[in-house]
Amino acid sequence: MSEADALLADACARLFAQHAPPDVADAAEQGAFPAALWSALDAAGMLAVLASKEPSAVADAMTLLRAAGAAGAPGPLLDHVIAAHLLHRAGIGPPAGPLTLARGDGASGTVRVNWAADAQVVAHVDGRLTLLRRAQVPAGKRATSMAGEPTALLRLDVDAEAQAPSDATAEEVECLGALGRAAQMAGAMSGALDLAVAYVNTRAQFGRPLAKFQAIQHQLAVLAEEAASAGVAVDLAVAAWPGDAALRRFAVGAAKIRAGEAAGAVARIAHQVHGAMGFTHEYRLHHLTRRLWTWRDDFGAESVWAERLGRQIAAGGGAALWPLLARG
């Protein structure tokens, strides 16, 4: 990590520590949009990180998202930065306030959208970009994710404020979303590891801290290994992003698969080493693990990406596999 990357990571961590404490996530689950957090992100220029033409824009965005994941921060942050990026590329000035993202192929009338009642919706459908007015979500269409955040089934045939052709393909948008979710999962796993290490060093059993027991040490070693592997996979995908579409798809798919598989192990071990404490609402571990379980499915679960990568490798033939791995 370069000095500039380290400084950005530290700034993001401090911002989320100040503006995304556990009570903000709890309030979001009761329907309160995290407005103070959003204002702080906007004032720091972080919401427009992907609207930049800087070569480091994708890497900077993943640093931001990883820090958000580590804090268990609520809100449509990934949706917003992708939506702002798409609007910027289409020459549409982003409106004030939060954005969320809707994706579809035009074949179905409804799509599931995060935070639809609290944000303006940017729809990417059939190569067109549409900025929609804030949706009025019928009560019967409202739901919450496993993380406790609002989602809704939204019809896309509503009045639009702006429309434009989009030069971003559906695959590019999905790859960007999958990479962002993998980064958030890597951050949440790092946060879960920090909580687990702190807990076993302070909690005593039979006169000794839990951290002194070999069984606990083994579990934490596995947790740390899984979290680290997900972080490395995300770093490799970020490095591959400027490459061609085939390399990008391969690296992002590998990162989403590795992060998803690691998320299950990390959540399981983190709750095991915490014992009953880890399952209480007052303790913040659930802000991380419930997001891990939710994010595994977003922008393609492991099984979806595994099938895609399998088809990509099979189509290229055996001779193309090693060059693809070496480039990645």
- Written as one string, the DSSP assignment of 155-181 is ES-S-EEEEEE-SS-HHHHHHHHHHHH
| Boundary (domain end) residue, out of 150, 165, 180 | 165
| Boundary (domain end) residue, out of 143, 165, 187 | 165
Q: State whether 297 and 322 are in the same domain.
A: yes
pLDDT band for position 158 (cuts 50, 70, 90): low
Radius of gyration of the chain (CA): 20
Query: What is the model's pTM?
Result: 0.94
Q: What whole-number distance in Å separates Cα of residue 328 and Cα of residue 323?
A: 8
Q: State whether 201 and 81 are in the same domain.
A: no
Q: Which of 49-53, 197-201, 215-219 has the lowest mean pLDDT?
A: 49-53
Predicted confidence (pLDDT) per residue in 61-73, tens digit: 999 999 999 999 9
233 is in which domain, residue-wise? 170-327
Q: State whether 235 and 317 are in the same domain.
A: yes
Average pLDDT score over residue span 108-135: 82
Q: Is the pLDDT of residue 199 over 80?
A: yes
Q: Which backbone phi and psi does 104 adopt, to 5 degrees?
A: -170, 175
First and final C-alpha spacing in the chain: 18
Which one, of 53, 57, 48, lies nearest residue 95 by Cα? Answer: 48
Q: State whether 9 and 149 are in the same domain.
A: yes
Q: State whether 128 and 247 are in the same domain.
A: no
CB of 129 within 8 A of CB of 166?
yes
Q: Is the pLDDT of residue 181 over 80?
A: yes
Q: State whether 298 and 269 are in the same domain.
A: yes
- Strand pairing class (128-132; 160-165): antiparallel
Q: State whether 89 and 237 are in the same domain.
A: no
Q: Which residues pair with 206 in a beta bridge?
A: none
**Identity of the amino acid at 268:** R
| Boundary (domain end) residue, out of 165, 186, 214 | 165
pLDDT at residue number 74: 97
pLDDT at residue number 2: 77
User: With pLDDT > 90 as the criterion, what percentage of the chain qualifies?
Assistant: 70
- Strand pairing class (120-125; 99-104): parallel
- The structure tokens 């940017």 sit at 122
Q: State whether 302 and 187 are in the same domain.
A: yes
- The structure tokens 């045939």 sit at 157
Q: State whether 75 and 199 are in the same domain.
A: no
Reduced DSSP (H G I as helix, E B as strand, rest coil) percent helix, strand, coil of the chain, to 5: 60, 10, 25
pLDDT band for position 154 (cuts 50, 70, 90): confident
Q: What whole-number distance in Å separates Cα of residue 121 and Cα of residue 113?
A: 8
**Identity of the amino acid at 202:** T
**Identity of the amino acid at 224:** A
Average pLDDT score over residue span 1-8: 84
Query: What tokens does 313 get?
Result: 């490798």
Q: What whole-number distance in Å separates Cα of residue 105 and Cα of residue 124?
A: 8
- The structure tokens 């990571």 sit at 9
Could you tell me the CATH number of the domain that includes residue 175?
A: 1.20.140.10
Q: State whether 115 and 232 are in the same domain.
A: no
Query: What tokens does 252 get?
Result: 């992002």
pLDDT at residue number 157: 60
Q: State whether 305 and 234 are in the same domain.
A: yes
- Strand pairing class (208-209; 204-205): antiparallel
Q: For the chain, where are the E strands, in sequence order?
A: 99-104, 110-114, 120-125, 128-132, 142-144, 150-155, 160-165, 204-205, 208-209
Q: State whether 182 and 323 are in the same domain.
A: yes
Q: Which of 20-34, 57-71, 100-114, 215-229 has the lowest mean pLDDT?
A: 100-114
**Identity of the amino acid at 76:** P
Q: What whole-number distance in Å separates Cα of residue 167 and Cα of residue 124?
A: 11
Number of domains in the chain: 2
